[in-house]
Chain A
């Protein structure tokens, strides 16, 4: 459309009809411009030895030196590894458990019991990680609930939050505790959408409960499963920053330090702003690619268009 086309009567008529729609969009665009787009200029920090006192214009340029440093240091590659391991474990365990729990809930006979249990199971999702962190530090200490249970069983209490062997499993399990109930919602919704006649037909053909689950329930929600998995893929570099940040401490940096905690520590604690920005930029770019991939997958396999 050329500029002169803006003044044709056809366009004028169009605009008269739709000008208000454009007005409606404006607040979002303004806010995004200010809070999302404008800060993007800060990616230059990744290429400087940034001194906030000197600002962008006077801090020295170092080109790719920051990136070289983080990739040559033993820490950053380890951090990437941790991020991937933690995130993927959480996603896989989370999804499998949610599906199984959904199947289980689907088989509950008493509606009131089902509803009541669901309400209980959804609740941890709404607690913040600050709260949960506080609770977990309590419970997982050797003198807390879990520790005492172990001592009662004659075992040596395991220091979950202080041991490199146990920190990641603790992250996965506690996240599971928080989210598994919530995760079942989608699958349950899909399950209730299955035509009961399919089950009846199968029963008549002699299929028992498990066979019905295996051959009917699961395939029917397969699309949903794939959809969720694809969408999760885009988030894999997040690895649940809030959870890790609340629960980690220097003794578990080896297995628990993720990209976002590294970025935070380098930047705001150690004042290594350039390094922090370089790591952050790296994450953004890879994350961007992953999300594109995940959206394409969601579209291809589950027919789900984001927009």
Chain B
């Protein structure tokens, strides 16, 4: 090959590469940046002193109204007036952090930062919301917050900051003292709700006597479990509904042996978190013995002398372990339950492999009804030895918290906006069910839930994710209203949404189970009473102690270790820092009495 030929070819090749690369870099799909949307420029420029009509503002901005007033089977959504001073003359941008989902569906051209909800907020308030951090699952959330702290680039509104990170942020003086601002601007309704929860609500938010965060509420009884049983199986075997722990055992064994769901049938749903988990929890079993649970560990409850003790080292735990290991031997549980995580259990229900479960509303599994003809009924959870029915619950207020960086200028606007949203979305009878064509569609008079999976989510405190609310009891009030009031409406006069509430027996079943759980809450809820930030010794040894506990308990249940291993565990736990932690926890407990 002559030199000349090579050089031209090579040059062309190189140029091609470089050119191609540059072209690619330039015209590749634009990566999403946290850019400010264009609506900022298009917002109205007046700042009248009178409250404005929400519907007018939306129409002026060309944003669709929620509800379907024009549809014969539709309804009208009532919106309260926007408070005086809004929309802001100078629109502002607030950055947020929130969970998202790999299955979220947006209409054409929309995304998480630009959708009918964000446009509505921009039109009504002059506030643009932009997401700075997003995550899909739990670990990612913690990682993103930690990294955001490292880069000193915090979103304006942060929800669910893990306690350790929250403490570090406070230490480094990175957070706004939200308490006083909230006191100043929150609406009376909001304040009343929080006041009802008492001091508990602020526990996680207070550091050194100052409130650096405001509490989030979860819908009451959202995660409270009931006992679900397959009535069709009970009937087939001629069994009556289980009421005690022993009943559960017997029914479960009977189900497993009869193999009513195929060769892999088993009795009671359980997963690798034997404490409290969101699917297939066994917390009522511990609760029946007075032991509180939490995600991945036990809870702290009051001992006879008023101090707090950790559930895992209470003497009753040994009783439960003995019972559970016997249950495992008898085949109550799935053979490999200790290796299965919560969401891996979903197919078990769906394909009809098990007949007993402790779950909130979603225990009425749609697929199992459709595929296997399951007839689920819900019952009260079984009683423990002293007749206690108890399940573990989160306090309705004060769990996840919302905090803001120190330089956040618009806390006032955010709180005032939330006040309005409480008025709007938490008043039963306003009929806010979403937007036509986005959240639902009415085809031939039939309501269809489009399930876009992002709903009219907003950014905290209300509704950052599904059921986060201000008033924990709101959803129950709403459901009660639906079931009682609308039932009175004659069927042919119901609009599409009303009809849909009764159309699907599974939905009705779920709603009823939720109301049932809510009614039981006051009597049966068992809380993990330690809600402070981790103590110094906890920071050092707690994860090791929890690891040890999980290992020991699981091994005992599945028979790998004898029950005596429990005593050894208790001794190791105490000497490995557990006693010290207990002391510190009780110091905290005394300090908040």
Residues of A in contact with B (beta carbons under 8 Å apart)? 51-54, 58, 69, 73-75, 141-143, 151, 156-157, 159, 161-163, 249-251, 253-254, 267-272
B544 on interface, CB distance cutoff 8 Å: yes
Shortest beta-carbon distance from B545 to chain A in Å: 10
On whether the beta carbons of B165 and A251 are closer than 8 Å, the reply is: no
Shortest beta-carbon distance from A141 to chain B in Å: 7
Q: How far is the CA of A253 from the CA of B296 in the complex (A)?
A: 14
Shortest beta-carbon distance from B296 to chain A in Å: 8
On whether the beta carbons of A271 and B162 are closer than 8 Å, the reply is: yes
On whether the beta carbons of A159 and B336 are closer than 8 Å, the reply is: yes
Which residue of B162, B296, B336 has the most chain A CB atoms within 10 A of its CB atom? B336
Question: Among A143, A251, A271, which residue has its beta carbon within 8 angstroms of that of B338?
Answer: A251
On whether the beta carbons of B171 and A251 are closer than 8 Å, the reply is: no
Which residue of A161, A163, A251, A254 has the most chain B CB atoms within 10 A of its CB atom? A251
On whether the beta carbons of A251 and B139 are closer than 8 Å, the reply is: no
- Of the A-B pairs whose beta carbons lie under 8 Å apart in the complex, a sample of 11, sorted by A's number, is A52-B150, A53-B168, A73-B541, A75-B547, A157-B336, A162-B336, A251-B339, A268-B143, A269-B142, A270-B543, A272-B164
A-B contacts besides A53-B172, A250-B272, A271-B146, 15 pairs, CB < 8 Å: A52-B146, A52-B150, A53-B168, A53-B173, A73-B541, A74-B544, A75-B544, A142-B335, A151-B263, A159-B339, A162-B339, A249-B341, A250-B547, A269-B139, A269-B142
Q: How far is the CA of A254 from the CA of B551 in the complex (A)?
A: 9
| Cβ–Cβ < 8 Å partners of B338 in chain A | 159, 162, 251
7 pairs of A and B residues whose beta carbons are closest in the complex: A162-B339, A53-B172, A159-B339, A52-B150, A159-B336, A268-B143, A52-B149
Question: B247-290 CB contact bits vs A (8 Å, 1 = yes)?
Answer: 00000000000000001100000001000000000000000000
Which residue of A58, A161, A162 has the most chain B CB atoms within 10 A of its CB atom? A162
On whether the beta carbons of B142 and A253 are closer than 8 Å, the reply is: no
- A-B Cβ contacts below 8 A, count: 83
Q: Restricting to B195-218, which residues have a CB under 8 Å from any CB of A?
A: none
| Cβ–Cβ < 8 Å partners of A73 in chain B | 540-541, 544
Question: B377-400 CB contact bits vs A (8 Å, 1 = yes)?
Answer: 000000000000000000000000
A53 with B171: in contact, given A254-B551, A268-B147 (CB under 8 Å)?
yes
Question: Among A58, A156, A267, A271, which residue has its beta carbon within 8 angstroms of that of B335?
Answer: A156
On whether the beta carbons of A51 and B551 are closer than 8 Å, the reply is: no
Number of interface residues of B (CB under 8 A): 38
On whether the beta carbons of A141 and B540 are closer than 8 Å, the reply is: no
Shortest beta-carbon distance from B255 to chain A in Å: 18
On whether the beta carbons of B339 and A271 are closer than 8 Å, the reply is: no
On whether the beta carbons of B272 and A162 are closer than 8 Å, the reply is: yes
| Cβ–Cβ < 8 Å partners of A69 in chain B | 540
Residue of B nearest to A147 (CB): B336
B550 on interface, CB distance cutoff 8 Å: yes
| Cβ–Cβ < 8 Å partners of B168 in chain A | 51-53, 271
Q: How far is the CA of A151 from the CA of B554 in the complex (A)?
A: 23
Shortest beta-carbon distance from B544 to chain A in Å: 6
| Cβ–Cβ < 8 Å partners of B164 in chain A | 270-272
Residue of A nearest to B547 (CB): A253
Residue of A nearest to B542 (CB): A270
On whether the beta carbons of B540 and A53 are closer than 8 Å, the reply is: no
| Cβ–Cβ < 8 Å partners of A270 in chain B | 142, 164, 543
Residue of B nearest to A73 (CB): B544
Residue of A nearest to B163 (CB): A271
B169 on interface, CB distance cutoff 8 Å: yes
B46 on interface, CB distance cutoff 8 Å: no
Residues of B in contact with A (beta carbons under 8 Å apart)? 139, 142-143, 146-147, 149-150, 152, 162, 164-165, 168-169, 171-174, 263-264, 272, 296, 335-336, 338-341, 344, 347, 539-541, 543-544, 547, 550-551, 554
Shortest beta-carbon distance from A247 to chain B in Å: 12
Which residue of A53, A73, A250, A254 has the most chain B CB atoms within 10 A of its CB atom? A53
| Cβ–Cβ < 8 Å partners of B336 in chain A | 142, 157, 159, 162
On whether the beta carbons of B335 and A163 are closer than 8 Å, the reply is: no
Q: How far is the CA of A186 from the CA of B158 in the complex (A)?
A: 53
Shortest beta-carbon distance from B198 to chain A in Å: 30
Question: Among B169, B539, B554, which residue has its beta carbon within 8 angstroms of that of A251?
Answer: B554
| Cβ–Cβ < 8 Å partners of B339 in chain A | 159, 161-163, 251
A250 with B335: in contact, given A53-B171, A53-B172, A53-B174 (CB under 8 Å)?
no
Shortest beta-carbon distance from B42 to chain A in Å: 37
Q: How far is the CA of A269 from the CA of B144 in the complex (A)?
A: 9
| Cβ–Cβ < 8 Å partners of A163 in chain B | 339
Residue of B nearest to A156 (CB): B335
| Cβ–Cβ < 8 Å partners of A267 in chain B | 146
Question: Among B165, B173, B344, B541, which residue has its beta carbon within 8 angstroms of that of A271?
Answer: B165
On whether the beta carbons of B173 and A268 are closer than 8 Å, the reply is: no
| Cβ–Cβ < 8 Å partners of A253 in chain B | 547
Shortest beta-carbon distance from A77 to chain B in Å: 12
| Cβ–Cβ < 8 Å partners of B539 in chain A | 272
Q: How far is the CA of A249 from the CA of B263 in the complex (A)?
A: 28
Question: Among B147, B165, B347, B547, which residue has its beta carbon within 8 angstroms of that of A143?
Answer: B347
Shortest beta-carbon distance from B293 to chain A in Å: 16
| Cβ–Cβ < 8 Å partners of A151 in chain B | 263
Question: Among B146, B172, B341, B547, which residue has its beta carbon within 8 angstroms of that of A268?
Answer: B146
A54 with B172: in contact, given A156-B335, A162-B336 (CB under 8 Å)?
yes
Residue of B nearest to A252 (CB): B339
Shortest beta-carbon distance from B287 to chain A in Å: 23
| Cβ–Cβ < 8 Å partners of B543 in chain A | 270
